[in-house]
Amino acid sequence: MKKTFYLAAAAMLLIACPAFAQETITIGFTSSQTGALNNDSTAQMRGIELWRDDVNAKGGLKLGGKSYTVKLVSYDDESQNTRVQQLYTRLITQDKAQFLISPYSSGLVATAAIISEQYGKVMITTGGALEKTYQLGNKNLFQLYTGSSQYLAGALVALKEKNPKPRVAFVYEDDPFSKSVVAAVRDTAKKDGDVIAVDESYAGSTTDFSPVINKAISAKADALLGGGHYADGATLARQLHEQKAGVKWVTLLVAPDSPKFAELGDSAVGISVPSQWEPQAAFKPDFGPTVPAFTKAFTDKYKIAPAYHAAGGYAAGLILQHAMEKADSIDQAKVAAQLNAMDVTTFFGRTKFSTDPKSHGLQVGHDMVLAQWQKKDGKLVKEVIWPKAAKTAEALY
């Protein structure tokens, strides 16, 4: 009788003590474990997972007097839009995710955004630079990456420092992101009166670039700007080298930023890439890890250096965390209000979202850098060649 009484009392004490209760907050996203976007999407996911590990190691999030463990629910979207549609619906309705992070790549982000907006869920988008997604009238999207129109702007400026009147070839993937990037830089080139030697898009599944490379050779192009994502970008870089195209300046999107690009060996030398973040960046963060701390933690855990996709993944979690902590709650509206008001600097750089209803969520605080693969003491390293403030080496031409 006495034993039962004490047991019951102990049980009631435990139930009645909310401070000891560890709740979970569920954050959902998909990543391309298979398919053409595999390489960079996995890096992004690792960044998100590292953030979750860091938060949970410190005891989780402390909000509104409660303690929350971060739980990530993710699925393989196979690099397909149809799967993104199904899986984000599942994340919201079945897995009851409270907040969402986007998939990787602008095309998939656009699809996920339709679903997240339908259900009114806050989604931090990372890995998607296409600006159009934020111009369709949204309330709960928050973009981490600098918009696509900025991508090649720096590349053109840096190129002109070496050759004021270049013959430019635009060879780019036929997807919304790459097309919008090239559209922006094409306008600038036309205004400056540059010769556009080649201007062609290719299907993302293209593996034979020799016809378009021959065209670039025939047109005597000095510079090639374009590419798309990892698979086609890496193949294009390799074939440019194999065919001895002799193009003096090559800037490709996305692909050269991945550490895996170094596997191309000599084909990688001189290839530059617009980057959202580099490990050499010198930002002083308001909160969260410093650049060296993040780089070390990532490299230690995954045995590979982080590129901007991984940094974007971590930053997505970090920004969401900061918004929740400032709101001291997991309520959607309160967190969204904090995100709207945010103007901070983290290891990823400055983050500020547009609150103009016509372009809500567009990233307006973050800047790009241009990185280039160079040979240093016989090894391939990525150096930052532009802008001057962030430079670590001279550009190769």
Partner 1 sequence: MIGILASIIDGILIGAVYGLAAMGLTLIWGVMNVINLAHGAIVVIGMFVLYTVANMLGLHPYGAVPLMIVFGFVVGIALYWVGVHRMIGRPELMSLLSTFALNMVLIGLGTAWWTTSPYNVQVSVPSVSWQGYTFTGTHITAAVLAVVIAGLLYLLLYHTRIGKAVRAVATNREAAELCAIPTTQVLAMAFGLGVALAGVSGTLIATMFPFTVLSGEAYQLKSFVVTVLGGLGNPAGALMGGIALGLVEGLATPFMPVSWIPIVEFGLFVFCLIAFPRGIFSFTKA
The partner residues of 379 in beta bridges, in order of sequence, read: 376
φ/ψ (deg, to 5) at 147: -65, 155
Compute the least distance from the CB of residue 117 to partner 1, in Å.
Answer: 29
268: helix, coil or strand? helix
Q: Which two tokens stand for residue 302?
A: 């995954």
What is the DSSP annotation of 372-383? Answer: EEEEETTEEEEE
Compute the least distance from the CB of residue 175 to partner 1, in Å.
Answer: 13
Task: State how far the Cα of 256 lies from the Cα of 65, in Å rounded to an integer.
Answer: 45
What is the DSSP annotation of 192-244? Answer: HT-EEEEEEEE-TT----HHHHHHHHHTT-SEEEEE-SHHHHHHHHHHHHHTT
239 or 340, CB closer to partner 1?
Answer: 239
Q: Which two tokens stand for residue 309?
A: 């996709």
Compute the least distance from the CB of residue 166 to partner 1, in Å.
Answer: 18
Compute the least distance from the CB of residue 51 to partner 1, in Å.
Answer: 25
15 or 203, CB closer to partner 1?
Answer: 203
Write the single-letter amino acid at 352.
K
Pairing outcome for strands 66-76 and 61-63 = antiparallel
Task: State how far the Cα of 129 lies from the Cα of 175, in Å rounded to an integer.
Answer: 12
Compute the least distance from the CB of residue 229 to partner 1, in Å.
Answer: 11
45 or 212, CB closer to partner 1?
Answer: 212
Compute the least distance from the CB of residue 238 to partner 1, in Å.
Answer: 8
Residue with the two structure tokens 């919008």: 180
Cis peptide before 306 (omega within 30 of 0): no
Contact 131, 147 (CB under 8 A): yes
Compute the least distance from the CB of residue 201 to partner 1, in Å.
Answer: 6
Terminal-residue alpha carbon distance, the chain: 87
Q: Kind and range of the H or E element at 128?
A: none
100 or 213, CB closer to partner 1?
Answer: 213
Compute the least distance from the CB of residue 308 to partner 1, in Å.
Answer: 21
| Residues across the chain | 397
241 or 360, CB closer to partner 1?
Answer: 241
121 or 309, CB closer to partner 1?
Answer: 309
Compute the least distance from the CB of residue 82 to partner 1, in Å.
Answer: 13
Task: State how far the Cα of 369 lies from the Cα of 277, in Å rounded to an integer.
Answer: 7
217 or 337, CB closer to partner 1?
Answer: 217
63: helix, coil or strand? strand
Nearest CA among 241, 248, 171 for reference residue 202 = 171
127 or 154, CB closer to partner 1?
Answer: 127
Kindly list the residues in this chain that would bind partner 1 in the complex (CB under 8 A).
33-36, 38, 78-79, 174, 200-203, 205, 207-208, 210-212, 214-215, 217-218, 231, 235, 239, 242-244, 246
Task: State how far the Cα of 17 lies from the Cα of 365, in Å rounded to an integer.
Answer: 43
Nearest CA among 107, 382, 178 for reference residue 269 = 382
256 or 289, CB closer to partner 1?
Answer: 256
Compute the least distance from the CB of residue 43 to partner 1, in Å.
Answer: 14
137 or 211, CB closer to partner 1?
Answer: 211
